[in-house]
Amino acid sequence: MLIRFNKPYGVLSQFTPEGRWTGLIDHIDLHGVYVAGRLDADSEGLLLLTDDGKEQARIADPRFKMEKTYLVQVEGLLSDAALTALARGVTLNDGPTLPARASAVQPPAELWPRNPPIRERKKIPTSWLELVIREGRNRQVRRMTAAVGLPTLRLIRTAVGPYKLDGLPTGTWQQI
């Protein structure tokens, strides 16, 4: 069994709640399924769960380099130099990242509101980009955008390999 879940902001990639964060148990009432790849509590979007250990490894293990696609709202204006740096790979404190695909995109037209909303500064514009990576380091996308001078405000995973969010409402799941 393979489940796709549109993880809201503030939900951990585990069934047990912890501190101020809620757990998957508040959204998914299934037993025997396990997360295939993490998504930070302050990130949103596609999270896959499965009851098949081999499938879980194929999706989550960095050796398989399954692509992950993100919509990222950043503080500041995107430049060609920043997009080129992200595409070539940036050096983080744990070493250089693999090359990525990075492109400027329009703000998503049909995006659910985030609770709580992101901070907006009247004098600092925001931009959106699509970033496709093949690694899964801790907070990698946030660290990559910060490395090019664009702090991440909102991070939404829209795809993992061939599996896509495709309009699944936030907080809901569906068996694939």
Which among 13, 11, 58, 30 is positioned nearest to 161, based on CA atoms? 58
Helix axes 80-88, 140-147, angle to 10 degrees: 130
Q: Is 40 a catalytic residue?
A: yes
Catalytic residue among 26, 40, 61, 94: 40
Cα dihedral 157, 162, 166, 168 sign? negative
Q: Which residues contact 71 (CB under 8 A, 6 or more apart)?
A: 45, 105, 108, 128, 129, 130, 155, 156, 158
Region at 33 (left for phi over 0; alpha for psi -120 to 50; beta for the rest):
beta
* Distance, CA of 13 to CA of 36 (rounded, Å): 9
Question: Which positions are annotated as active-site residues?
Answer: 40
